[in-house]
Chain A
C-alpha cells in the first residue's frame, strides 16, 4: 500500500490503530487502550478486530513488529510491540488530509461551523 491520493479510504480500525501508533510503539493491549483514549471511549476494539487489522497492516507494510520487551507499567511478561512504518505514517497523513478536505467542504457548504475549523 502506498500513500497516494488514489489510496482508498482506510477502515476505521486501521485508521485508529495508525493514530494510536503515531506517537510511539505499543503492544496489543496498549493499542486498544490508546484507541479508547483517542476516541474518548467511543471506539472500543476487540482482539479479533485489532489483530485482523494488524495482520493486514503488517502484510501491507503499514506497521512492523518491534523487539519483544517488558512493559514497565505492567507485569514482567515480555511483549511484542508494534510500530508505525514510514509508509504507515504517510498513509495516515494522506487520510488526515482527506478528512481535512471533507471538513473544509462541509464548512463551505455551511454544514459545519467554521468556529470548529481546522
Chain B
C-alpha cells in the first residue's frame, strides 16, 4: 500500500496546530523535521509505514491532550485559549450563543424558560437586564476573537487572521443592529407606550 508523504506531512502539520501556542512556536518546526526524518527512515528500511503513521498520530494526539491538561492544571489554559487564533475565534463565537439561545426561547416561546424570562405579558425588568448582559457579551466576544491579532509574534510583527476578523465583524454588526432595533422597540413600546406596538 502506497502512502503519500506530502499528504501525511500536511495532516501532521495540521495536527501540530492543536498544540498550545507557545509549544507550537517553540517546537513545531523541530517536530515536523523529526516526522520527515522518521518517514524517510521507514521508507528506506521498508518498515511498516502504516504502523509508523498510526502510532505517530496517536502519540502526537496524546501529547497534545497532555500539554493542554498541563496548561489547565497550571492555570494558563484561558491564556492559551484566547491567544491561539483558532480557539480565540471559537471562544469569541461562543459569546453569541446566549443571545441565540434567548432569542430562540422568546421567539418560539419555549416553556418553562419563556415564563421565567417573561412572567408577565410585557417585557419584565429582569428581561431588560438579561438582554443587556447578553448584548454586552457580543462586543466582548468580538474583542476576544480579534485579540490574537494585537499580540506581537516572536519576530515582532502582528498577523492578520481572516476568520477572527469575520467573527468579530458579525458580532459587532449583530450588537449594533440589535441595540438599535431593540432600543427603538423599547422606546416606542415601553417609554412612549404606543398601543399594540409589539
Contact = CB atoms under 8 A, between A and B. Distances in A.
Interface of A: 27-29, 32, 46-52, 54-55, 58, 74-75, 77, 79-80
B33 A27 contact: yes
A80 B29 contact: yes
Interface of B: 23, 26-27, 29-31, 33-38, 40-41, 55-56, 59-64, 66-67
Nearest to A28: B34
Secondary structure at the B interface, as helix, strand, loop or mixed, is helix
Secondary structure at the A interface, as helix, strand, loop or mixed, is helix
Contact of A47 (B31, B66, B67): B31
Contact of B33 (A52, A54, A77): A77
Contacts of B62: 48
A82 to B, nearest CB: 8
A51 B63 contact: yes
B56 A47 contact: yes
A28 B59 contact: no
Contacts of A80: 29-30, 33
24 contacts: A27-B33, A29-B33, A32-B34, A46-B56, A46-B60, A47-B56, A47-B59, A47-B63, A48-B63, A48-B64, A49-B59, A50-B34, A51-B23, A51-B30, A51-B31, A52-B63, A52-B67, A55-B23, A55-B67, A75-B40, A77-B33, A77-B36, A79-B30, A80-B30
